[in-house]
A = this chain, B = another copy of it.
Amino acid sequence: MKKLINSPESVLAQTVEGFTLAHSDLVEAHTDPVFISRATPTPSGKVALVSGGGSGHEPLHGGFVGDGMLDAAVPGAMFTSPTPDQIEAAIKHADAGAGVLNIVKNYTGDVMNFEMAVELAEADDINVRSVIVNDDVAVEDSTWTAGRRGVAGTVLVEKIAGAAAVRGDDLDAVTTLAQKVVDNVRSMGVALTACTVPHAGEPSFTLAEDEIEIGIGIHGEPGRERIKLRTADEITELLLGPVVEDLGIGNGEKALLFVNGMGGTPASELYIVYRHARKLLEDQGVEVTRSLVGNYVTSLEMQGASITVLRLDEELTTLWDAPVKTAALNW
């Protein structure tokens, strides 16, 4: 296992330390229990947004803490859910009197631990809601998941709900809007290579030299099928087809097209995929009015990509365009 780490045990703490030092204008580290918050308190009366999940998907979620997006992020150990006490501490810290919305990716451990944290926080009279993100159309039920998995679409939920909180929506309204994004976003990914979790020391699965996995999960969970390597355009069609079909987006509609890198993919390849996905959408009469391309929800050093489509209306577009100041999204 070749990694720029000091030991498997120190990865999480040292990543959080380096991340919060490098971005001390935006974020602050809390160590007991571990979570990341905005460097300045949540503005009084603003609904607070909290997200979290296993580490190894950086910049998710710490990279999205800051003005216009999350107020706190809770990193678990590598590919492992954060604990209820971590989440509870983040909720308590983030609350500024208007309540807290949790944005939770649909993995059994995450959902359960966020639920327990909500109970703990409610006992402290904090008003808490949660939305579950389940944008991955690849498979129903999987390792660690009942129902569909939450993947790259989570970034879009966090950005848009964050903007709604900034414009002054109350907790019910921010929750409704976050759910609207969940209802209108779908994703699917491909792996060209596996990744190695530091504690495991070995790749989490193996792919032959000419083999790729369509519908891969962000922890390397099985997808739909293993096939021989094809061209980027053919792979793009295999990913985009199920996304478009499940979303039911078509002629005359507008979309945000998001091509996400899994961590080890050259930027050039992401743009090659973006190019063809955009053409395919436009061929079906879908206008791509907003775009995002890059490493936002990764699986360590995995090579691969996912395609996410969000159906846009005027409100979602305005909220997407609203200012954001975080380590990973900034405009």
Q: Which residues of A contact B (CB under 8 A)?
A: 2-7, 11, 14-15, 17-19, 21-23, 55-56, 58-59, 63, 190, 192-193, 209-210, 212, 229, 231-233, 235, 263-275, 278, 291, 293, 295, 298, 300-301, 303-305, 330-331
B-chain residues with CB within 8 Å of residue A212 when the two chains form the complex: 2
Evaluate contact between A267 and B59: CB separation under 8 angstroms. Answer: yes
Bound: A66/B185 CA distance, A: 30
B-chain residues with CB within 8 Å of residue A193 when the two chains form the complex: 2
B-chain residues with CB within 8 Å of residue A304 when the two chains form the complex: 4
Bound: A249/B305 CA distance, A: 41
Pick 12 A–B contacts, CB within 8 A, sort by A. Answer: A5-B232, A5-B268, A6-B272, A7-B231, A11-B272, A14-B232, A14-B271, A14-B275, A19-B293, A22-B271, A56-B266, A266-B301
B-chain residues with CB within 8 Å of residue A273 when the two chains form the complex: 4, 18
B-chain residues with CB within 8 Å of residue A192 when the two chains form the complex: 2-4
| Residue of chain B at shortest CB distance from A211 | B2
B-chain residues with CB within 8 Å of residue A305 when the two chains form the complex: 4
Bound: A15/B273 CA distance, A: 9
| Residue of chain B at shortest CB distance from A75 | B268
Bound: A17/B277 CA distance, A: 12
Bound: A17/B330 CA distance, A: 24
Question: Contacts A268-B55, A268-B58; is A293 near B4 (CB within 8 Å)?
Answer: no
Evaluate contact between A267 and B2: CB separation under 8 angstroms. Answer: no
Evaluate contact between A5 and B231: CB separation under 8 angstroms. Answer: yes
| Residue of chain B at shortest CB distance from A330 | B330
Bound: A6/B55 CA distance, A: 33
- From residue A309, how far is it (CB to closest CB) to chain B in Å? 14
Evaluate contact between A6 and B231: CB separation under 8 angstroms. Answer: yes
B-chain residues with CB within 8 Å of residue A22 when the two chains form the complex: 271, 274, 278, 291, 293
Evaluate contact between B275 and A17: CB separation under 8 angstroms. Answer: yes
Bound: A234/B301 CA distance, A: 21
Bound: A304/B2 CA distance, A: 10
Evaluate contact between A19 and B303: CB separation under 8 angstroms. Answer: no
Bound: A15/B232 CA distance, A: 12
